[in-house]
Structure 1
Amino acid sequence: MTTPPRIADLLGPPAPVLSVRPVVIPTPGRVVDLQVRVTAPVTGGELPILLLSHGQGHSNHLSSLDGYAPLVDFWASHGFAVVQPTHLSSTTLKLAPDTPGAPMYWRSRVEDMTRILDALDVIEAAVPQLGGRLDPSRVAVAGHSMGGHTASLLLGARLIDPDDGNEVRPADPRIKAGVLLAAPGRGGAALTAPMAEHFPFLATPDFSRMTTPTLVVAGDKDASAHLTVAGPEWHTDPYVLAPGPKSLLTLFDAEHGLGGISGYDVAETTDENPERVSTVQLLTCAYLRTALHPDDPAWQSACDALASGPNPIGRVESK
């Protein structure tokens, strides 16, 4: 059973959207300039800005500015200006494997997001339909899988740089809320041996000072056995190990694709389920609306509606 229709009713009807890509942000020192897609409602002002960091799936183009259309289209149609970068880890760029930072470019990913916020004037100039319509005081970040790692660092998580042993603290105070979708959890013994060996930056996350309000979304069948020996609960660590205010949406029977959020009808989704995708769309949108506009009751109403059905598709807990 899907989320009761009144959640969708609460958010209002979807608005027409415009999408422009690529918007090129000149980036000296980066191996290629940063390219982003901007998707926003055609009308309306004071649009909150939502940065979306892509994951590292097996498809050729979903890990780029061209992915995550089910989420991007929905968020934009309900009032957000969504900005999607193509990180250096994207297979679309075909970078040499010996490029500094390869293959995951964890540090560059974070820098991409802060560059976007530094370049809002560039984006408005490239997309004149957005001129004067963005609200830089209301910024959120979302990320799926490896993108969730990127987003968690921007929200206040820290790690030890395996190259120099220094603590990395890249939180951006301009970001007021976040959504972590199937994001990585704790390091240490929770990682598989290959992950610990080849991706040591995953070994030392510290969520204890990730204080920015965040919704963590996890599937209770997302074992991610190539990443962790801790099972599906590993993806709840950013909720369990971080201080409040935090909320956790656990999706029943969901795997790493959370029903198919990375694209429409994509082959890499192992748990294709339109109802599950709809739940992610609705609950994440409601959460961000309330997080950025505290007088908006969307989140509490969405939680109440999710719990009211006889066969709920997931559950929410908060602290």
Structure 2
Amino acid sequence: MVIDFTPLLGQDEAGGRLLITGINISEKKQLKNELDISRIRYRSVIQSVHDCIITTDEKSKIILFNKAAEQTWGYNFHEVAGKDITMLLPTKFRANHQRYVDDFSSSITQSRKMSSRSIVYGQRKDNTMFPAEISISKMKVNSKLEYTAIVRDISEQSRLLEELQLQAMTDGLTGLKNRIFLDKVLKREIEQIEHSRSDLSLLLIDIDHFKTVNDSYGHAVGDQVLVGFAKIITNILDEGFTFARYGGEEFVILLPGVNQQLAHEIANNICDISRAEVHINKITCTVSVGVSVFNQDGDSADTLLHRADIALYKAKAAGRDCVELSNHDDHINSPAVI
């Protein structure tokens, strides 16, 4: 038991008297000890977690900045204390911050994850940026709002995701883009030219007699032919063109801003270079090419590819190692030629 004593001096007819009063403050003392322990525990947790924890007052001034935040941003607490939290954001994101805070403060939601539809970025002391996952909560302290953000640097996670996405759209053998990537780019290019009314051409390329190469020399040699062709043609194409392996021995080159005449010249050049430079195990690699040009009146990605396929069939029927142009009225069903 803990007692707080208070002496009271008094005097009567018989002389002086001393009155002492005592109050049991054991519970009060225990509560204070528990509060001190809670504060120590709170500080320990805040400073030991790996996620950044940042608290601001209702005017967006920083009042808490834990060690993880110091390590992530490169500032110590004294450098940011009392400063506006927008100092931790890239310039282009600062203008929207106050609007976001106003919207959050007036909502009934007590916590939310910021921007699940797009990546949020932080800006370090050295001005480098990093992608972040942010959750924010609010609470009233002494009748005033405070906001606490829990921030996680997801740079490594984003890098791995980008690598996986790149792998999903890359042909493992040749290193070219694959059909998945081509389909996305073709759709995007068509959407753009429908507004700009510019040209878009497509080359569908097939390596001649590739089945015979595989049957006669083995698939390892066939793979060398594919890789050699892809490498040589990549070196002669402009950066704005998309070169993809469409499947098997077929390749597609997408030529935005290129009309039929220029596409025809590029296709003939590819035939010449392949014949002259792609030699694997004394095998001369020749190709057949079908050329189609996007028609603004009712064309689509499928019809553009179908017409290139018909033109490719014509090139094979004409003896291979040549280029054929498609017509806008070509029937969409093309016979197969091996």
Which category describes the TM-score, using the shorter chain as reference length? under 0.3
Give me the TM-score of the superposition, normalised by structure 1: 0.22
More helix by share: 2
Using CA pairs under 8 Å that are at least 6 residues apart, name the structure with larger relative contact order, 1 or 2. Answer: 1
